[in-house]
Amino acid sequence: MTTDTPRPPPRRSLFGAWGPRELKGLFWQVLVVGIAVGVVAFLWSNTVTNLSARRITTGFAFLGREAGMPIADSLLAYSPRDTYLWAFVVGIANTLRVAVIGIVLATILGTLVGISRLSANWLLSRLAAVYVETLRDIPLLLQLLFWYVLMQALPAARAAWRPVEGVFLSNRGLILPAIPFGPPQLWVLGTAALGLVAFYVIRRWLIAQQMRDGRPRPAWPFALGLVVALPAAVSLVLGVSWTIEWPELRGFNFVGGLTLAPEYFALLIALVTYTSAFIAEIVRSGIQSVPRGQWDAANALGLRRSFMLRQIILPQALRVIVPPMTSQYLNLTKNSSLAVAIGYQDVVSVANTTLNQTGQAIEAIALIMAVFLTISLSISFFMNWFNARIALVER
């Protein structure tokens, strides 16, 4: 290509002679779509033939039939006599239970580890680095099996470990003291949530006021009033009891308290520790992406440490942190489907059992896809909203 000798004109591609570019583009599109439609039609006709040969009727009518599958550990009331539809709902609740709590815990743990990696304390930062490297480089499924084996190797209920009074760890899982929860308690929590929304609106108004005249106005009295005092008042008026129920050993099992079954607990530990290693790296690179000049400038202004972190460093770090964090949350949710390997009945596991019992393969897979797409889109939607809020506003 570097010589000056005249080169023959570039070889025309096969359809170049047809003339306008658009025609060529149209041809390729028709070809690719034609192949795709052809393949799908071929698979579809095969599937229809095979299904009729096996006497399986397509459609979601089977959801109304009795499921007959046991689900040991569930938030919602369930018995094998319930319908497949209800089994799916229970499975979805189980997936959400592990995903939501997992995301919260993994974020907390990951942030702590990520900050530890940047610590001036050599030992702490090395330990954090070892934690991250080890957990990232071993398959999650292996870690999950490992934790599950450890759970099963725990002593029986009678000889349960008690790390703290009221907390039992045995091969029946983790048993924690808990507050019995019912409608009255929900009312109080609902009031608190409403108070939070009201506080948020008021705070925006206060900030708008500050923007006008430059005088800072404290927001905390409103927070105290709306989020703490108001629910407390409601609780007093309704006479809601908040007594903690302490678990105790009776016979061969525990009574009272909150039980995390070994399957659930192993899955939660595996997901949280594995994902936290990735989150730690995201947090670390996010903090490191804030230029040193920002720290120096904040110091030069004489800002308090907490104010500086909250108002200068964190907002800038979050811009780098939030987008990859979203994909970690999605990963954790999708990884929760590994539950099937240790017999925790999440939605994938329920769908798999359904598939084996009824042969409704397409419907079961379609349900899995629908559930995960909905969860993924919800998380993406929330994180995009959050990201837009913290994004850099060019003025």
Residue 316 engages another protein in binding (rule: CB under 8 A): no
Q: Which two tokens stand for residue 301?
A: 């202004």
Q: How far is the CB of 318 from another protein (least distance, A)?
A: 14
Residue 49 engages another protein in binding (rule: CB under 8 A): yes
CA distance 383 to 391: 12
Query: Which of 115, 192 has the CB closer to another protein?
Result: 115
Of 323-342, binders to another protein (CB under 8 A) are 334-335, 337-338, 340-341
Of 269-288, binders to another protein (CB under 8 A) are 287
Q: How far is the CB of 338 from another protein (least distance, A)?
A: 7
CA distance 76 to 279: 31
355, HSE (Cβ side, Cα atoms, 13 Å): 14
Q: Which two tokens stand for residue 263?
A: 């399957």
Residue 360 engages another protein in binding (rule: CB under 8 A): no
What's CA 111's distance to the chain center, in Å? 15
CA distance 194 to 186: 12
Over 169-222, what HEC string results? Answer: EECCEEEECECCCCHHHHHHHHHHHHHHHHHHHHHHHHHHHHHHHCCCCCCHHH
Residue 321 engages another protein in binding (rule: CB under 8 A): no
Secondary structure of residue 315 in the 3-state scheme? helix
Among 93, 96, 124, 178, binds another protein (CB under 8 A): 124
Residue 39 φ/ψ, nearest 5 degrees: -65, -45
Query: Which of 117, 172 has the CB closer to another protein?
Result: 117
**Per-state percent for the chain, helix, strand, coil, to nearest 5:** 70, 5, 25
117, HSE (Cβ side, Cα atoms, 13 Å): 24
Q: Which two tokens stand for residue 272?
A: 């949280």
Among 8, 10, 19, 251, binds another protein (CB under 8 A): 10
Residue 52 engages another protein in binding (rule: CB under 8 A): no
Among 115, 154, 219, 383, binds another protein (CB under 8 A): 115
What is the pattern of x (binds another protein, CB under 8 A) and - over residues 137-176? Answer: xxxxxxx-xx--xx--x-----------------------
Q: Which stretch binds another protein (CB under 8 A): 133-141, 184-192, 234-242, 254-262?
A: 133-141
Q: How far is the CB of 311 from another protein (least distance, A)?
A: 14
Which residue, among 61, 105, 102, 101, has the nearest Cα to 85 in the 3D structure?
A: 61
Residue located via tokens 């954090």: 128
Q: Are 314 and 111 in contact (CB under 8 A)?
A: no
Among 292, 302, 388, 392, binds another protein (CB under 8 A): 292
Q: How far is the CB of 33 from another protein (least distance, A)?
A: 5
Q: How far is the CB of 285 from another protein (least distance, A)?
A: 11
Count of residues of this chain found to bind another protein when the rule CB under 8 A is applied: 69
CA distance 247 to 309: 41
Residues forming contacts to another protein in the complex (CB under 8 A) are: 9-11, 13, 16, 25, 28-29, 32-33, 36, 43, 46-47, 49-51, 53, 115-116, 118-124, 127, 133-134, 136-143, 145-146, 149-150, 153, 287, 292, 295-296, 299, 305-306, 309, 334-335, 337-338, 340-341, 348, 351-352, 355, 361-362, 365, 368-369, 372-373, 376
